[in-house]
Amino acid sequence: MSRSHSNDLVAVWEISLSDGVHKVEFEHGTTTGKRAIYIDGKAILKTDWMFKLVGKEDFTIGKQNVKASIHIDACSGFAYEYTLHIQGKNLKKFLENKSKTSKCWEFKVDGEDTRVVLEKDTMAVWCNGKELETAGEFTDGGTETHFEIGNHFCYIKAISSGKRRAGILHTLYLDDNLIPDK
C-alpha cells in the first residue's frame, strides 16, 4: 500500500542510515485521531480512529530494523507537536551521534550515483543499501578494509590522526584513487 496524498500530512523527516536515506511521513487527523506512518512511500501503520490524540507510535526503519518512534504532544488549543526519536534519542541527538559512529562518501562509479557508508564501531561497509563482504588487513600505518564495488577494487584506510580529539581518520580509495569526503 503506498502513500496517497492527504490533508492530514503533518510531518516529514529524512533519516540517513547505513542502508540508505529513508523518508518518514506522518499523517495525523486532529479531529478523528487517524494516524498513518509511511516509510519510503509505503504504509507501515494506519489507524482510522483513535480517541487519544496524543501519545507515541513505535516502528522500525531500514534493513537493520532501527527502532524509531513518533511522539505526539499537545501544544496549545488544537495545536500538536511531532518529534521523531531514533534509538531512544531525538533526531538531532541521533544524527550527531551517527556522525561520530559512521562515515559516508557519495560519488559516481561507472556513471552511477554511489553511496558508501562505514560503520566505525563494527567496521561494516555498506554500498547503496547493501552490506558488503570485507577483508581487513593490518598495515604499517594502520588498517585497511578491502571490498569491491562492481569490478572496482576498493579499500578504506584507517590511520591515527595523532590527536586524541580527532581520533582515527578514514579515507576511501577506489582503484587506488582517493575519493574526497563529501
At 98-127, the pLDDT tens digits run 888 999 999 999 999 999 999 998 999 999
pLDDT tops 70 at residue 5: no
Mean pLDDT across 9-34:
90
Q: What percent of the chain has pLDDT over 90?
A: 68
pLDDT at residue 83, rounded to an integer: 95
pLDDT at residue 3, rounded to an integer: 55
Alpha-carbon dihedral sign for residues 123, 124, 125, 129: negative
**Residue from 174, 144, 148 nearest 159 by CA:** 144
Alpha carbon distance, N-terminus to C-terminus of the chain: 35
pLDDT at residue 165, rounded to an integer: 75
Stated pTM of the model: 0.78
pLDDT digits (tens, 9 = 90+) for 134-168: 999 999 888 999 999 999 999 999 998 888 777 88
Mean pLDDT across 57-72:
95
pLDDT tops 80 at residue 132: yes
Name the average pLDDT for the chain.
90
Domains present along the chain, CATH in parentheses: 9-87 (2.40.128.180), 101-179 (2.40.128.180)
pLDDT tops 90 at residue 36: yes
**Which triple of cell numbers denotes residue 29?**
487527523
pLDDT at residue 51, rounded to an integer: 67
pLDDT at residue 50, rounded to an integer: 64
**Residue 10 · residue 28 · CB < 8 Å:** yes
Using a 10 angstrom Cβ sphere, with 0-12 exposed, 13-18 middle and 19 or more buried, the burial of residue 122 is exposed
